Structure 1
């Protein structure tokens, strides 16, 4: 009576490449898109936080207005409202569109890149508007 060798269970010829059955083809790209989109959205959220925290500090630009002619102080409030309303609104809109695209299995990272560009423009608009109240 002969016992089978433990090596008989292994094939001697290379077989077809083994694919993981739980991860279909293209799944790695989808995971990378989700991770990149989330990280970029967090960068945009950081920019919103900078705008919301920096907006009230823009009023310090009018300190010299006690001895110089300046623009209307209402421009400060317009700049603050731009930073406080348009920034979070852009963040939520970009987050919603990104989530919609991710759920639909479509690439979404470029939406967040556009959102970061919009956020930079919102910050520039808020600072530029508030600067109208400073010394002329």
Structure 2
């Protein structure tokens, strides 16, 4: 059976951010930590070696595949920040129009630095993602820790 590679760990979020070599990226990561923590009201947790995630949801597809994933999160990658929000909702696309300078991948939103984006829109994206996942998977499948 397939097992998702990115699982929550007990590693220190602060120690991980402190290990980021680029000073500006490290400062931005601490700001993102504050924004995500305040907006979600949840404690950050390391997911795998390099993703800071908040909460979790349990999913189960019609195929029978199931697992757990973080509700929202971010990672200070070398090239740019990866921001993790739920996909599949038109509201996300609407919010991204006013987000600022970014690129999108299949599941991630990529930004070079915090100064490139509107942090008020970031907070709305975080809230929207959690609301959408709660609506799709049900409150009973959401962990807000």
Structure (1/2) with the larger strand percentage: 2
TM-score (normalizing by structure 1): 0.31
TM-score (normalizing by structure 2): 0.30
Structure (1/2) with the larger helix percentage: 1
